[in-house]
Structure 1
């Protein structure tokens, strides 16, 4: 049994946990940062990342959830899109993150990929033009991408980024370590130690030993699935319900003439006119094809189709918080009637755009229900207050699990801003 002592334990190295650790370490606080996964850098930038960094789980009802289990969390395998916080945070909860969002946008250089990239993306351009002709404004998307380092024909953001063009939370982890944070990877947190309503530390295990970490404060940032699992194991009640995943449907089909979206960057354009219900946009051919494999949909894929002629689109749903992470580690998540209705509308719109752009209708297949933003399971108003504090004194939660409902959009910028504000408020 190894025993460690520190001021603060942060569990999880995604955008929430990494930001909290960085902010506190820069202020001279003693921080121990725990990460369940290992770095496994050999897989970055290749499809091997699916085996090395992804945790892919499927509910009994068929919803697929993908998350990153590695330093940097799911930012290692996200598309790099940046959206402002959903309006309900300020309007309903009084959480104003405007200053932190502006700071982060400047700090990380968040902006759309340059227009010069799209001149060499004929498939994407055809989709955008077709959408415009049908009354859908697919607009350039702001991204956590340094265009000077980015290869416009790479489209491997979902496998990691060898060129470091895409910002990931690993950079904040590295900064935290440079300021004295002790990072422990391959670390499975077994429970929060608490007594008489006050936190006392964390119990964890690595492949080598068991660890007891004594601390005055614990910040739980293990994500929408990891956080409720740890709370369940710790005997802390109330978490695990109201689970949402922002599920996607990914469409792919073969162009009749000309190139598709092969070697074109995924999610560079999107129609946000129905944000709060769904958004839809472009997908590179390889990612669209891999999505069919992940969803076990490959049997429906047209035989003889050429990768260079494939074109893809996605529909991202703002789903209802209807799922549950259970005490035994299993999870329940299904489409509600509202979810089914909205997803069907989104798929129909995306299909129509693809056909208008020149995709053969008989080749279009759809991988439905691929979730990537698990949350809602330790929400503000149910498990934590607006200060992110739980009923256990000095135990806090700072990840997507605190969102009471889905925003239907990538949450990374929101979580960085929320974590900055939270960490700066700790004394």
Structure 2
């Protein structure tokens, strides 16, 4: 029987661990964070300032606990051109997660105003595909803080399945390095900061799913070159005043406008309030939109720092997106004199162990038995939520390992 170590419990780690365990593979999953209930996941944010603020969490289930539940296919053609056809895995995942738009009952006044305004300007906004159970969801605007009703899919659901299949989950433990012997993976070294204990775990295979910031360091510990070409899916939120709209309580990003070089989606951010600079403005008076771009892979993760800067092309795309968002919001009734933007932030780091450069089409490195299955392997920035694609990649990797 194969013995596999999975590092990280987000979309990739939870999925591959579950899929392998369902086929009888012995799996140990190691996570640096601890388990929390979804309603307090916001307490696990540990954002980084890397030139842009990078949003991320450290807990069992990772960032899946604080996503907006968006489920869109990203980079499908890019991967296909590299010999990775995810068609069946996308379909399998969408069916399993009941992916689809929410019913009309879950669209608030603010989102509807934005969709109607876009239409009047000749722009088509579609309903966002979601992995949210509408029977459990009572719109409250807290998607990015952790769902208080556990209505949206998170990898905790797959981790529970994995536990039921005998997967050993080790929490509060940091993987500090990958060990190898004669060109083959041997296992991992770990450290528990709570008790100061160091340990080593051996396995036939190691799958790194710890994210594009942590994964490169682990690859370097095994003697591989990784960490270049970091992208983060840079985004800003544009918004202004529309009295008593109550937008902050709506389902976040419930519709989507796709343009060449950026996407737009209804989005509330409390960061807009002080930037408007009017004491009379409260959270109930804000209507906003997210502008997200597929930023250039101009960042890096090395031994000493994580760095990402916006290129001239990035700035140009953000400016174009902000102008479009401003026009839609003004058409929706927002006072144009109150329109402001948040600072640039990043939510989807990736690219630091890309397919064709650090891993092959089976997501294996030059070291036999050492795999990567997170957004590190993306060949470029998707400019849209990558969770569904990571799930599909993890399912494909599990099938590959099982069939070996």
Shift of 1:20: 0.6
Distance 1:85 1:407 in 2: 6
Distance 2:258 2:142 in 1: 24
Shift of 1:136: 1.5
Distance 1:361 1:129 in 2: 17
Question: Which residue does 2:290 correspond to in 1?
Answer: 314
Question: Which residue does 1:34 correspond to in 2?
Answer: 30
Shift of 1:381: 0.9
* Alpha carbons 1:124, 1:260 under 8 Å: kept: no
Distance 2:259 2:295 in 1: 16
* Aligned counterpart in structure 1 of residue 116 of structure 2, from 118, 129, 137: 129
What SS is found at the alignment partner of 1:162? Answer: coil
Question: Which residue does 2:342 correspond to in 1?
Answer: 367
What SS is found at the alignment partner of 1:28? Answer: coil
Question: Which residue does 1:303 correspond to in 2?
Answer: 279
Distance 2:351 2:278 in 1: 38
User: TM-score, normalised on structure 1?
Assistant: 0.90
Which stretches in structure 1 are left out of the alignment for 5+ residues?
A: none
* Alpha carbons 1:6, 1:213 under 8 Å: kept: no
What do the CA deviations read for 1:340-393 (whole angstroms, capped 9, x no partner)?
111100011101111111111222221132111100000001100011010111
Distance 1:13 1:89 in 2: 25
Distance 1:362 1:71 in 2: 43
Distance 1:334 1:300 in 2: 26
Question: Which residue does 2:73 correspond to in 1?
Answer: 84
Question: Which residue does 1:280 correspond to in 2?
Answer: 264
User: TM-score, normalised on structure 2?
Assistant: 0.95
Question: Which residue does 1:141 correspond to in 2?
Answer: 128
* Aligned counterpart in structure 2 of residue 67 of structure 1, from 49, 56, 72: 56
Instruction: Give me the CA root mean square deviation.
Output: 1.7
* Alpha carbons 1:6, 1:32 under 8 Å: kept: no
Shift of 1:292: 4.5
What do the CA deviations read for 1:85-111 (whole angstroms, capped 9, x no partner)?
324334421211111111111111111
Equivalent pairs, count: 400
Distance 1:109 1:414 in 2: 15
* Alpha carbons 1:238, 1:382 under 8 Å: kept: no
TM-aligned CA distance change 1:299 to 1:125, over 3 Å:
closer
The answer to whether residue 312 in structure 2 is matched with residue 326 in structure 1 is no
Shift of 1:230: 2.0
Which stretches in structure 2 are left out of the alignment for 5+ residues?
A: none
Shift of 1:18: 0.6
* Aligned counterpart in structure 1 of residue 325 of structure 2, from 329, 350, 354: 350
Distance 1:301 1:172 in 2: 44
The answer to whether residue 46 in structure 2 is matched with residue 55 in structure 1 is yes
Distance 1:262 1:406 in 2: 28
Shift of 1:211: 1.7
* Alpha carbons 1:85, 1:97 under 8 Å: kept: no
Question: Which residue does 1:110 correspond to in 2?
Answer: 99
What do the CA deviations read for 1:250-278 (whole angstroms, capped 9, x no partner)?
122111x552513111100110132xx11
TM-aligned CA distance change 1:162 to 1:262, over 3 Å:
closer
Shift of 1:191: 0.1
What SS is found at the alignment partner of 2:203? Answer: strand
* Alpha carbons 1:201, 1:214 under 8 Å: kept: yes
Question: Which residue does 2:398 correspond to in 1?
Answer: 423
What SS is found at the alignment partner of 2:313? Answer: helix
Where do 4+ consecutive residues of structure 1 move more than 4 Å? none
Distance 2:53 2:272 in 1: 12
What SS is found at the alignment partner of 2:259? Answer: coil
Question: Which residue does 1:251 correspond to in 2?
Answer: 238
What do the CA deviations read for 1:18-60 (whole angstroms, capped 9, x no partner)?
111001111111111011111233xx435xx44x21120011x
Distance 1:55 1:368 in 2: 18
